[in-house]
Amino acid sequence: MSLAESFGQSGLAQFINSRAGGVMRLVVGVGLVGLGFTQRAHQSGLILMATGIVPLLAGTFDLCLISGLLGGPFSGSRLRNTPQPA
pLDDT (tens digit per residue) in 20-79:
888 899 999 999 999 999 999 999 999 999 999 999 998 889 888 887 888 878 888 877
What burial class does residue 5 get, using C-beta atoms within 10 Å of its C-beta: 0-12 exposed, 13-18 middle, 19+ buried? middle
pTM of the model: 0.76
Question: Amino acid identity, residue 61?
Answer: F
Q: Distances in Å between the alpha carbon of 17 and those of 11, 21, 37?
A: 10, 6, 27
- The ranges assigned to domains in the chain are 22-79
Nearest 5 degrees, angle CA 19-CA 57-CA 80? Answer: 35
